[in-house]
């Protein structure tokens, strides 16, 4: 597929190269002086000496076309490059940082865009005087906002993708995220914008030269040639035809070239129809027993409360969530969409969306140096040092968690380099890929993400996450996007890694209770932003004390993992929470008191808690 794409680039590439070479080689070609006049032969028809004829001053038209290409292309490329550099930087910074940066970059660009382009160019040229330098400057001002808008819009959508969040989770520096991760991914539309800009700049340069505000006569330019030919178009119509043909042809070739270049630069297109690698069937071992050496103290969340703004004021999306995790322990956080489980995980990583604000609570974490820090209040530079080293995260969709334009080995190596490993990274990457069960790790390291299967992409994400031996691994629905067989393989791999890493704690976020049974030691059930039940997995499955947990267990199909669909109704929206118990509208055990009194989380037995007014009757 790659060869076909490159071949499609050959013809437009050759044409662009020919035009550029012709323009560069103009002084070396056996052409007459483009400004030498021969008034006696003005408007002469094409001849052996003058293949395209002579203009209104008897100058050689072919020579002026070739020399004109030099001027037009130089002005257009210089203006487009300047506009691309300034506009892209403004757009990417505005889209990534938002807030005030967005205001002073993108919004200013939008103000410039409000001016009619020709009028703006005329204003700048009138203020600074005509000439090629002024022309480049004014065209750059004119076209930079276009780049800013494209870069801004693309950055906004790329910013929300998992592989950018994954880079942040690995502790990558902001500069690396902006220019190594985001920029290559937003490049294809920018390349198209560049081609359009070069073409528009050529047309505008010709227009301004035509108006006498661009290139200064007698220097040859296509705009000046069109202007000169206009007066004599009835006697010598070909004089108008040649520069118009040169302009139109060059613009078309440039557009075609950039269009093909975009296709080649975006390797995602090559993945279509490619078969996945042979999938290994791995038997799922039973969940590991809770290690005897477990002692409390890896992670302690205390009363975490998160709010989002709404037209009616702030609303709580997570309320008073507390739990503890010991080294070597696996805690599953389970609940339907909207339960707040993912936000709880993101709060641990310090990766909450901008709109979500922690308003109460602490997240105490014991680092590898033995120091306890509150992750909720840790300054960002220190948080970045922890991410990817002490704290690691695996996301739901491995397809969007990996940068599609960067080879797998490079992406795994980045997580090592982000935390100081500079030597032997290739060997370490291959060892990691082998550890997570990729069949040909050497080859996989050189492959792009689209060249391996979904399950293997998730293995790559796991390899990147464990590269620095984290003390805590957060896995946010890591098997949801995979088919059942691959789900089982990934769960087996995570269990294997847990055993190998010993003291590594894991928080496994899922909506699937069947998965919990296979991987976790303890489970935290969340509903509508609150913890409704907590306890050891075996005890919760044997005797759930909350009707929601009971309903989740009842909705599990026999024997295998499927999506939970059987509980009637839906999780209430944060701004429309029912009075009393939040689960009451869906609860088959709801009593009258449940609609008036909000239950609190009560100790049921040592290590077990439930939030239900009737938990004693649920035994
Ligand atoms: S408090 Fe009442 S409504 Fe809420 S879960 Fe318990 S029984 Fe159901």
Asked if residue 69 has its Cβ within 6 Å of ligand 1, the reply is no
List the chain residues with pLDDT less than 50: 1-4, 267-296, 560-564
Question: Can you give the pLDDT at residue 228?
Answer: 80
Asked if residue 547 has its Cβ within 6 Å of ligand 1, the reply is yes
Domain with CATH 3.40.50.300 in the chain: 329-355+369-618
Residues found in the chain: 619
Question: Can you give the pLDDT at residue 300?
Answer: 94
pTM above 0.75, yes or no: no
Q: Are 541 and 549 in contact (CB under 8 A)?
A: no
Question: Can you give the pLDDT at residue 522?
Answer: 95
Asked if residue 465 has its Cβ within 6 Å of ligand 1, the reply is no
- Cβ neighbours of residue 343 under 8 Å, at least 6 residues apart? 306, 317, 318, 352, 356
- For ligand 1, the distance from its centroid to the CA atom of residue 514, given in whole angstroms, is 23
Counting atoms of ligand 1 from 1, which one is nearest the CA of 588? 8
**Total Cβ atoms within 10 A of residue 234:** 6
Q: What are phi and psi of 488, to 5 degrees?
A: -65, -40
- Ligand 1 mutation pick, 591, 601, 619, max ligand atoms within 8 A of CB: 591
Question: Can you give the pLDDT at residue 311?
Answer: 67
- Ligand 1 mutation pick, 530, 532, 592, 594, max ligand atoms within 8 A of CB: 594
Q: What is the SS3 assignment for 231?
A: helix
- For ligand 1, the distance from its centroid to the CA atom of residue 520, given in whole angstroms, is 26
Going 552 to 558 to 563 to 566, the CA torsion angle's sign is negative
372-374/315-325 β-pairing: unpaired
- Ligand 1 mutation pick, 527, 568, 587, 619, max ligand atoms within 8 A of CB: 587
Counting atoms of ligand 1 from 1, which one is nearest the CA of 587? 8
Asked if residue 587 has its Cβ within 6 Å of ligand 1, the reply is yes
Alpha-carbon separation of residue 38 from 44, 59, 68, 231 (angstroms): 10, 6, 19, 18
Q: Which CATH superfamily is domain 329-355+369-618 in?
A: P-loop containing nucleotide triphosphate hydrolases (3.40.50.300)
Residue 491 burial (10 A CB sphere; 0-12, 13-18, 19+): buried
Asked if residue 612 has its Cβ within 6 Å of ligand 1, the reply is yes
31-265 CATH fold: MetI-like fold (1.10.3720)
């Amino acid at each position: 597929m790659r060869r076909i794409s490159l071949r499609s680039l050959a013809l437009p590439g050759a044409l662009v190269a020919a035009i550029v070479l012709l323009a560069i080689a103009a002084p070396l070609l056996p052409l007459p002086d483009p400004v030498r006049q021969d008034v006696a032969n003005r408007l002469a028809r094409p001849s052996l000496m003058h293949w395209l004829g002579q203009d209104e001053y008897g100058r050689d038209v072919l020579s002026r076309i070739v020399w004109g290409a030099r001027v037009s292309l130089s002005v257009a490329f210089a203006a487009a490059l300047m506009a691309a550099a300034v506009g892209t930087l403004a757009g990417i910074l505005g889209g990534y940082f938002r807030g005030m940066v967005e205001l002073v970059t993108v919004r200013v660009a939008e103000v410039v865009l409000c001016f009619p382009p020709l009028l703006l160019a005329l204003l700048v040229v009138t203020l600074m005087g005509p000439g090629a330098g002024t022309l480049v400057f004014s065209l750059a001002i004119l076209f930079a906002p276009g780049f800013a808008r494209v870069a801004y819009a693309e950055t906004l959508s790329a910013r929300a993708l998992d592989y950018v969040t994954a880079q942040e989770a690995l502790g990558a520096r902001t500069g690396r995220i902006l220019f190594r991760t985001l920029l290559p991914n937003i490049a294809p539309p920018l390349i198209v914008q560049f081609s359009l800009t070069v073409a528009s700049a050529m047309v505008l340069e010709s227009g301004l030269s035509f108006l006498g505000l661009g290139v200064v006569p007698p220097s040859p330019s296509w705009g000046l040639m069109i202007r000169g030919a206009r007066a004599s178009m009835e006697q010598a119509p070909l004089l108008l035809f040649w520069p118009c043909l040169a302009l139109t042809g060059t613009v078309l070739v440039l557009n075609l070239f950039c269009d093909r270049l975009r296709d080649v630069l975006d390797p995602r297109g090559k993945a279509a129809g490619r078969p996945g690698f042979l999938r290994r069937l791995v038997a799922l071992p039973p969940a590991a027993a809770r290690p005897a050496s477990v002692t409390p103290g890896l992670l302690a969340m205390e009363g975490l409360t998160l709010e989002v703004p709404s037209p009616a004021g702030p609303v709580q999306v997570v309320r008073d969530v507390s739990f503890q995790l010991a080294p070597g322990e696996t805690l599953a956080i389970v609940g339907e969409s909207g339960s707040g489980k993912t936000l709880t995980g993101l709060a641990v990583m310090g990766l909450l969306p901008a709109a979500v604000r922690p308003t109460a609570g602490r997240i105490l974490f014991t680092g590898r140096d033995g120091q306890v820090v509150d992750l909720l209040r840790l300054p960002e530079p220190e948080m970045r040092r922890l991410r990817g080293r002490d704290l690691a995260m695996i996301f739901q969709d491995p397809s969007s968690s990996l940068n599609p334009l960067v080879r797998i080995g490079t992406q795994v190596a980045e997580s090592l380099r982000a935390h100081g490993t500079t030597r032997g990274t290739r060997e370490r990457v291959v060892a990691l890929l082998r550890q997570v069960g990729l069949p040909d790790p050497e080859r996989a390291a050189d492959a792009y993400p689209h060249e391996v299967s979904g399950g293997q992409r998730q293995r790559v994400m796991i390899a990147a996450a464990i590269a620095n031996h984290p003390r805590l691994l957060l896995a946010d629905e890591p098997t949801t996007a995979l088919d059942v067989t691959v789900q089982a393989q990934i769960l087996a791999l995570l269990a294997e890694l847990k055993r190998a890493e010993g003291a590594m704690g894991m928080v496994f976020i899922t909506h699937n209770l069947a998965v919990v049974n296979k991987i976790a030691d303890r489970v935290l059930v969340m509903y509508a932003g609150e913890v409704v039940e907590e306890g050891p997995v075996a005890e919760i499955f044997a005797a759930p004390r909350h009707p929601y947990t009971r309903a989740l267990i009842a909705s599990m199909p026999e024997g295998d993992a499927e999506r939970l669909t059987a509980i009637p109704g839906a999780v209430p929206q944060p701004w429309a929470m029912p009075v009393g118990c939040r689960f009451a509208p869906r609860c088959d055990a709801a009593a009258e008191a449940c609609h008036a009194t909000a239950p609190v989380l009560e100790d049921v037995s040592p290590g077990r808690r439930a939030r239900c007014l009737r938990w004693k009757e649920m035994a």
